Structure 1
Amino acid sequence: MAIHDNKHVHGMHVTHDGPREAPPLMLIHGSGASAGSWGPVVPALAGRYHVIRIDLPGHGQSPPAPSYDVPEQAARLAAVLDELGLRPVTVAGHSSGGYVATALAEQRPDLVGSLALISSGPSPDALLPQPVVLRALIGPPLGPLLWRVRSDAMLRRGVTAVCHRPVDVPDDLVADVRGIGYRTFRTVLRHNTAYIAERSVPARLTALDVPVLVVFGAADPRWDPSSAHQYDTVPNARVERLPGVGHFPMLEVPQATGELLLGFAATVR
């Protein structure tokens, strides 16, 4: 039976789409975003999968948390999956959502059947100089002030600044981003960097016995697109590079992104 509903599970906002009896597919957003960032690809995915979208703590409709440590966020997701009784799950993460997905597989391999990482930078040295609008919003001295007076137009520019193609930013994503606190966002970024500095994502994946799909935009302005080659050494990994696509494949090329996820999930079932 096809469904669409929203609820809070263990303090995290969870959105369900698609038939509950279908194989489960969890989608995790990146820093400074929400489950709404996956909106354009959900219709295609929900035709074949029970799609579970999570708002991470302090993002979207999930309240702030005492800790934004990546393993701690993964533990929260594990509690949600345990409560829902779902396993094994194909878990897809965008950007830093890929770190949370990887940490979930590290902690609870019984829950994760396969991993898909989209635009997830492999290590700190792959980070590029950020667009001016993002530097202004995030860094001192203007960051805290600009964060308080952000207009919808500025929020949309913050998203499109890391895209290579023109995109329509979903209204619900704009509303969700407005609700993210400056201190929360800065703290999340710091913990994300600590996670990949401690051990790179390819090294973490190599230690896992799980099929992996890596999707990278060949024109990503946030992470050096050539750093996608670092994933080539991961066993059981398939690396896809999307020409002319930036950091948000789900918004820039939703059809191609959905097809990659559907094809990958089908091969590992």
Structure 2
Amino acid sequence: MSVYEGQHVYGMHGMHVVHDGPRDAPPLVLIHGSGASGSSWGPVVPALASRYHVIRIDLPGHGQSPPAQSYDVPEQAASLAAALDELGLRPVTVVGHSSGGYIATALAERRPDLVGSLALISSGPSPDALLPQPAFLRALMNPPLGPLLWKVRSDAMLRRGVTAVCNRPVDVPDALVAEVRGIGYRTFRTVLRQNTAYIAERNVPARLTALDVPVLVIFGAADPRWDPTSAHHYDTVPHARVEQLPGVGHFPMLEAPEATSELLLRFAATGR
């Protein structure tokens, strides 16, 4: 059984991919959220890679993947599908964090042949579930202060951007800080706008209801970014299970990696 320990690959489509775990194990694809990278999954990778071939993909303009002409959610899903086709992987369990859940959902909409099951972590169901954002994030998203802060941001500020949406103390991976530094401000703002457009056009529970795929929804019960009670909007989705983690904010894989890993391992094995 061949084992990939953090093997980095650049595909023909320019996507940066990291492999962990046995290559001949069932594939588990991890998709990060906006303003992040595949390194945001670091704390849960060892447990997941003990049983699965874990594939972390940096979305366009994030981490070590180059920018794209379009950051529209379906277009990003098309890039992800091309990368999975190139790897020859199907069907896969796809896990998306935050807006990565929208990319995962769009992938299942466009290419149901690729997706065997779908897990969403801290993915707000609709725009009206968004809470007033922490002051630091509000400043980043509003001109003229946002571009200035982006230009002069220090490692400490980048870590603060992550911890601002956490409810527990976390160690932000150094690799995540380094990779977030490479994201352009225009990319960051454009991705946020396109994410909002996608869930405004049709909310995520409605999109999932139209799909014939097992769904796991994980939400932090103390998420400061999305109203935690909005997790129950997913209760209407057939074949879906909703799990809330007490005392956890927007980054369950950083704040509660053991509990998050256990939920994902059970779901990948059983579809529940």
Do Structure 1 and Structure 2 share a fold, with TM-score over 0.5? yes
Residue in 2 that maps onto 1:11:
14
Q: Please give the residue correspondences for 1:220-235 in structure 2 after superposition, counting only pairs within 5 Å.
A: 220-235=223-238
Q: Do the aligned residues in 1 keep the contact of 2:215 with 2:271 (CA within 8 Å)?
A: no
Identify unmatched segments of 5+ residues in structure 2.
none
Aligned to 1:156: 159
CA deviation after TM superposition for structure 1 residue 137, in Å: 1.6
1:91 aligns with 2:90: no
Matches within 5 A, 1:103-182: 103-182=106-185
**Greater Cα offset, 184-193 or 136-145:** 136-145
Task: Supply the RMSD in Å over aligned alpha carbons.
Answer: 0.8
Q: Which amino acid counterpart does residue 222 of structure 1 have in structure 2?
A: R
Q: Is 1:264 paired with 2:267?
A: yes
Structure-to-structure mapping, 1:49-60, within 5 angstroms: 49-60=52-63
Is 1:75 paired with 2:46? Answer: no
| CA–CA separation in structure 2 for the residues paired with 1:12 and 1:86 | 15
Q: Unpaired runs of 5+ in structure 1?
A: none
Match of 2:3, SS state, is coil
> Number of paired residues?
269
Shift in Å at residue 141 of structure 1?
1.9
Q: Output one character per residue of 1:180-234: Cα deviation in whole Å (capped at 9) or x when no partner.
A: 0000000000000000000000000000000000000000000000101100000
Letter in 1 for 2:14: G
> What is the CA distance between 1:268 and its match in structure 2?
3.0
Q: 1:251 Cα deviation (Å)?
A: 0.2
2:10 partner letter:
H
The alignment status of 1:29 with 2:62, answered yes or no, reads no
Asked if the contact 2:252–2:260 (Cα under 8 Å) also holds between the matched residues in 1, the reply is: yes
Deviations 1:131-152 (A, max 9, x none): 0111112211200011000000
Distance, in Å, in 2 between the alignment partners of 1:77 and 1:32 is: 17
Q: Which amino acid aligns with 1:22?
A: A
Give the percent of matched residue pairs that are identical in Structure 1 and Structure 2: 85
State the one-letter code of the partner of 1:3.
Y
Instruction: Say whether 1:200 aligns with 2:203.
Output: yes
Which residue is equivalent to 1:250?
253
Could you state the TM-score of these two structures normalised by the residue count of structure 2?
A: 0.98
**SS of corresponding position for 2:120:** strand
Query: How far did residue 244 of structure 1 move?
Result: 0.3
Q: CA deviation at 1:30?
A: 0.1
In the alignment, is the contact (CA less than 8 A) between 2:129 and 2:230 conserved in 1?
yes
Query: 2: CA distance between counterparts of 1:170 and 1:82?
Result: 30
Please say which of residues 167-176 and 134-143 is displaced more in the overlay.
134-143
Q: Following the alignment from structure 2 to structure 1, what is the Cα–Cα distance between the partners of residues 250 and 142?
A: 20
Q: Which residue of 2 aligns with 1:2?
A: 3
CA distance in 2, matches of 1:181, 1:90: 30
